[in-house]
Amino acid sequence: MEAAVGYVSGDADSLLMATELRLGLPGTDDQKPKTTFSPPATPRGKKRTADAFEDSAAAEEAHKEADDVEAAPPVAKAQVVGWPPVRSYRKSCFQAAAATKSKANKKAEDATSSNKTTPSAAAPAATSANGGSFVKVSMDGAPYLRKIDMRMYKGYRELREALEAMFVCFSGADTAASNPSEYAITYEDKDGDLMLVGDVPFDMFSGTCKKLRIIKRSEATGLGSK
């Protein structure tokens, strides 16, 4: 779960907009990106329904929602009580087990390279809590995210190829030319800044990368991209 305070880690676009002088409350003139099916709104707006399609857009929105005057939990996806419907008896069994397991995992981490996804600990985990090498990859327009193991790649080229292969099914839908160069790969580093992939040596990059985001180049260039 992302930390609630995420003002800084919007994309370049939102940062520029945030500093724009204008009348009205920050965040009020943002347009919700078009979705094919709109999820039903909940009554008071206190519980936000998750926008399952535009994941990255939802994350963007969440950052802007944090500025909203109306009281709303300023997280990308508010956890809802009792969902998914798993009995607390069952959930509590795994929280206890996961706590002991994550200790054991941290020890065995270097020794074995396992394919297992480590069970997430009960405590709200920052993205790097589970063994440190798996990072989420999101792509604008894709309905769900992927996860990759940064240890699998020795350089930027391998990484880029892997990502292209992973997300090829989505790029074909919108545009006629599913050109890889149409997309830019960005990442979120330890400070929460959105950076373009490729500037620093790969080892340094893989150590500081917390999340990957594939965005359309048009959005990456800032002004004039609306």
Partner 1 sequence: MSTPPSSSSAPIPTLASPGMRDAADDSDSPPSHMSEDSDGSGAGPGGDTWTPDLRGTNGGNGGNGGRWAPPDQVLENVLESVLEFLTAARDRNAASLVCRSWYAAEAQTRRELFIGNCYAVSPARAVQRFAGLRAVVLKGKPRFADFSLVPNGWGARVSPWVDALGPAYPRLQRICLKRMTVSDDELALIPRSFPLFRELSLVCCDGFTTRGLAVIAEGCRHLRVLDLTEDYFHEETEVVDWISKFPECNTSLESLVFDCVSVPFNFEALEALVARSPALRRLRVNDHVSIEQLRRLMARAPHLTHLGTGSFRSEPGSSGASSVSDLATSFAAAAKSLVCLSGFLDVNAEYLPAIYPVCANLTSLNFSFASLTSEELIPVINHCVNLRVFWVLDTVGDEGLRAVAETCSDLRELRVFPLDATEDSEGSVSDVGLQAISEGCRKLESILYFCQRMTNVAVIAMSENCPDLVVFRLCIMGRHRPDRVTGEPMDEGFGAIVKNCKKLTRLSVSGLLTDKAFAYIGKYGKLIKTLSVAFAGNSDMSLQHVFEGCTKLQKLEVRDSPFGDKGLLSGMNYFYNMRFFWMNSCRLTVKGCGDVAQQMPNLVVEVMKDHPDDEGEVDTVDKLYLYRSLAGPRTDAPEFVNIL
Q: Which residues bind partner 1 (CB under 8 A)?
A: 1, 36-37, 39-44, 47, 49-50, 52-53, 77, 79-91, 93-94, 97, 101, 115-117, 119-120, 143-144, 147
End-to-end CA separation in angstroms for the chain? 29
Question: Toward partner 1, which CB reaches closer, 93 or 126?
Answer: 93
Q: How far is the CB of 181 from partner 1 (least distance, A)?
A: 26
Q: Which is nearer to partner 1, 8 or 80 (CB)?
A: 80
Q: Output 143 or 222, the one with its CB closest to partner 1.
A: 143
- CA distance to 53, 91, 108, 191, per residue, from 58 (Å): 8, 27, 36, 21
Shortest distance, position 164 Cβ to partner 1, whole Å:
20
CB of 16 to partner 1, least distance (A): 28
Q: At what angle do helices 12-19 and 55-65 cross, to 10 degrees?
A: 20
Residue 127, Cα to own-chain centre: how many angstroms?
Answer: 10
Compute the least distance from the CB of residue 208 to partner 1, in Å: 23
Nearer to partner 1, 40 or 224 (CB): 40
Smallest distance from partner 1 to CB 36, Å: 6
Determine how β-strand 146-149 pairs with β-strand 134-139: antiparallel
Whose Cβ is closer to partner 1: residue 136's or residue 160's?
A: 136
- Plot region of 43 (φ>0 → left; ψ -120 to 50 → alpha; else → beta): alpha
What's the burial of 185, exposed, middle or buried (CB within 10 Å: 0-12/13-18/19+)?
buried
